[in-house]
Amino acid sequence: MKDQLPLIMNNRAGMIQELKKAMELYSDLGFEYLPLKRANILNLISGGAVLDYKPDRGSPSQQVAEQTADYYSNKETALEELRNEIGDCHRCKLSTGRKNIVFGEGKADADIMFIGEGPGRDEDIQARPFVGDAGKLLTNLILKLGLQRQDVYIANIVKCRPPNNRNPEEDEISICGPFVERQIAIINPKVIVCLGKISAQTIIRSKITISKLRGNFHSYNDIPVMPTFHPAYLLRNPKDKWLTWEDMQKVLEKLK
């Protein structure tokens, strides 16, 4: 035990330093607590060793995502607790005009996670993602993949409807974006499908247009990401539906 003491203390000091970085980051974003392994919390308090601590795993946000996935063994419970944490959110100005928070829905351990940009009018009323005309198109696309809506998970970058369905602004994305990152960490899908420019640019941190991003796989925390056109765009430009179907064929191949 005496020989292990320096290692224990170094791990503990390192963990505290990394926690401090993460807490500063998430405090700026309006979070009140961070999910951690229960065993690590107890050991840290008691002065014991931190389990599986690796000091150079990347940014604080990546570490939080990894801890979130590790901490929860029940994904449905994890999603429910995240929804409870969001509460009656007033972290950004979108809260002033919304009727409902649209958290997301679907299979907690889905292989495919679809991420849009934000709720529209119908979604705001029903508190469900993609239930308007664009949602019907997405549902038909999912059916053509041989799946049901309940087989996938559907969420958005922001949880409240932007006024007049405008694009979410940068400050709104920076405040709300970490919630969808934690949804990704909990679900840990095999493939993420980003629907539209805002979703794709946010998830893969790019300013490239969706027409150039789509059709090729990118990566988010080692998860393959396929950007494609938003269903609302396809309603206005039906000739491009075949391009999205092409993208979905690549997703199916990736899942094999």
Q: What is the CATH number for 204?
A: 3.40.470.10
Query: How do residues 28-52 score in pLDDT, each as one tens digit?
Result: 544 554 555 444 444 443 444 444 4
The answer to the question of residue 78 being in a domain is: no
Of 71-85, 137-151, 173-187, 237-251, the poorest mean pLDDT is in 71-85
Do both 132 and 15 map to the same domain?
Answer: no
Return the pLDDT at 159. Answer: 98
Which helix (H) or strand (E) segment is 249 a member of? helix 241-255
Question: Mean pLDDT over all residues of the chain?
Answer: 84
Quote the tokens at residue 227: 């950007």
Enclosing domain of residue 109: 100-255
Domain final residue, candidates 56, 71, 86 = 71
For strands 153-156 and 218-220, give the pairing. unpaired
The answer to the question of residue 94 being in a domain is: no
Do both 246 and 173 map to the same domain?
Answer: yes
Do both 205 and 249 map to the same domain?
Answer: yes
The answer to the question of residue 215 being in a domain is: yes
Quote the tokens at residue 119: 């709720």
Do both 162 and 116 map to the same domain?
Answer: yes
Do both 128 and 41 map to the same domain?
Answer: no
pLDDT over threshold 70, residue 26: no
Confidence of residue 20 (pLDDT cuts 50, 70, 90): low
Do both 139 and 189 map to the same domain?
Answer: yes
Do both 17 and 60 map to the same domain?
Answer: yes
Which helix (H) or strand (E) segment is 197 a member of? helix 197-203
CA atoms within 13 A on the CB side of 67: 25
Do both 109 and 235 map to the same domain?
Answer: yes
- φ and ψ at 107, to 5 degrees? -80, 130
Confidence of residue 232 (pLDDT cuts 50, 70, 90): very high
pLDDT over threshold 60, residue 112: yes
pTM of the model: 0.73
Do both 114 and 47 map to the same domain?
Answer: no
Domain total of the chain: 2
The answer to the question of residue 87 being in a domain is: no
The answer to the question of residue 172 being in a domain is: yes
d(CA 82, CA 92): 17
Residues present in the chain in total: 256
Q: What share of the chain is helix, strand, coil (3-state, %, to 5)?
A: 55, 10, 35
The answer to the question of residue 129 being in a domain is: yes
Q: Where are the beta strands (DSSP E) in 117-152?
A: none
Do both 128 and 218 map to the same domain?
Answer: yes
